[in-house]
Amino acid sequence: MIRGWRCYSFYSFCLIGLAMALGFLAEMSAGPRFQPELFLPKAAPAGFILAQPPEFYGTESAPLADGHIFHFIDGGGVVYLNHGFQSVVHLLYKNEKADKLTVDIFDMGTLQNARTAFADEAICPAGFAVISVGTEAKAYHFEPDFFIYFVKDRYLIYAHVADDGQSGLLIDYVKRIFKEEP
């Protein structure tokens, strides 16, 4: 039988260990968290506001606030994972006429991963026009949609408008995003 100060030390040690274990379990069960190092554009496109809060998706093993890549792109997420996908931020903007503009910022982990994803036709299919937005970008026009893919640092960025009459606005916004610091 343990007696005296040794008894208290033993029990204190057990209580501290239990408290640490409970703290760890509470932290693990708190769920996914926002990663502040993710790149977000500083301002909305001219005449637009955020239609909803930004959505954050991670990997299956490290989901973010809104889940993981397969909650965002269903089965299409596999090709992004093959290129080092870390997370994506989904931004949906609207104007007073209810026109929508979408920006998806895929963190691919490294510049090289972002470039190989940009070159992959499973992500950026053939049939694009090369445009300059401060860097080479791929622009697609499938009436009435207009969208652009480009690389900025470790990010593969997708921007889209459902009204091709706003393609100039989208190009201007993409140029602004490219100039911002990540």
Comparing 76 with 1, the larger pLDDT belongs to 76
pLDDT value at position 30?
Answer: 41
Per the model's pLDDT, the better-predicted residue between 139 and 15 turns out to be: 139
pLDDT band at 6 (very low <50, low <70, confident <90, very high): low
HSE of 49 in the Cβ direction (CA atoms, 13 Å)?
Answer: 5
Question: Could you count the other beta carbons within 10 Å of the beta carbon of residue 90?
Answer: 17
Query: Residue 2: is its pLDDT beyond 80?
Result: no
Average pLDDT, the chain: 85
- pLDDT, tens digit (0-9, with 9 covering 90-100), for 59-101: 999 999 999 999 999 889 999 999 999 999 999 999 999 999 9
Give the pLDDT confidence of 16-65 residue by residue, as tens digits: 443 443 343 333 334 444 444 678 999 999 999 999 999 999 999 999 99
Mean pLDDT of 141-169: 97
Is the pLDDT confidence value at 126 over 70?
Answer: yes
Q: Higher model confidence: residue 145 or residue 2?
A: 145
Q: Is the pLDDT of residue 131 over 80?
A: yes
pLDDT at residue 38, rounded to an integer: 75
Decide if pLDDT at 143 tops 80: yes
